[in-house]
Amino acid sequence: MDFNVNEWLDLLMHHLRETFGERLVFAGHTGSFVRGEAGEKSDIDVNVILDKVDIDDLIAYRQIVRKMPYSKKACGFISSVREIKAWPRHELFHFVNGCRVLHGNIFDLIDGPDKRDITDYIRNSSSAILHETRHKMIYSEDYDPDSLEFSYKNVFFILQASLFLKLNKFILTKKEMLSAICDDRDRTVMEININWDKLEEDRLRRPEYYFINLIEWCSKTLVETQTY
């Protein structure tokens, strides 16, 4: 694919500045392209903050996206200044970490999440996946490990927060994370995360394995939050 993400972002920022002018307060690029881990199916995640956001602004942003090349890759978040200041702080960990700033300074608007906020993110995310995965294991007609893809994707982000609290360091890439992991369960779920596409046949052969590993990891991670 003949695609240059930096050229794409430059064009997007041109359209954003042309459309919103001084009303554009912040823009930041996050996700797999920033980590250097993007694949053919990867989205381009851009977080945008305007002075305010009304329906006309959403329509204008939609029009920008639709005229972009590779528009189906466009993804991300849009907020007003007042909204981001009121946003749940536990959801801001990845908003302020691992973000390539394209415009403005997010710390002019908000403080970064503290230890309690990050712990809340880990607790809320791991408990939600634990509940969902146990529910699927008990009540679904058959084990469908492919239904766990999004949960395994989120393992990486939860581990970023967990290791940040343990190591006082934000680990940007999956490769770096594997080097930093000491716990066997952490390593197992991250290897599944990294090799998901390659494990299709294995998921068909032993689907229970993927449920069990995710459940055990979520339980461990949730209980660990009591020690932070």
Judged by phi (left if over 0) then psi (alpha if -120 to 50, else beta), residue 216 lies in alpha
- Same-domain status, 65 and 126: no
Same domain (yes/no): 23, 121: no
Whether residues 73 and 149 share a domain: the answer is: no
Domain match, 9 and 99 both:
yes
Range of the domain at 95: 5-108
How many folded domains does the chain comprise? 2
196 with 143, same domain: the answer is yes
pLDDT tens-digit map of 168-203: 999 999 999 999 999 999 999 999 999 999 999 999
Task: State which of 108, 140, 164 marks the end of a domain.
Answer: 108
What is the rounded distance in angstroms from the CA atom of residue 55 to the CA atom of residue 194?
39
pLDDT in tens, 53-71: 999 999 999 999 999 999 9
pLDDT > 90? residue 141: no
Distance CA 211, CA 67 (A): 41
Q: How many CB atoms lie within 10 A of CB 208?
A: 10
pLDDT of residue 2: 67
Taking only the tens place, the pLDDT of each residue in 1-40 is 568 999 999 999 999 999 999 999 999 999 999 999 998 8
Strand order in the sheet with 44-50: 74-80, 44-50, 24-30, 100-103
| Full 3-state SS string of 134-164 | HHHHHHCCCCCHHHHHHHHHHHHHHHHHHHH
Mark whether 124 and 50 lie in a shared domain.
no
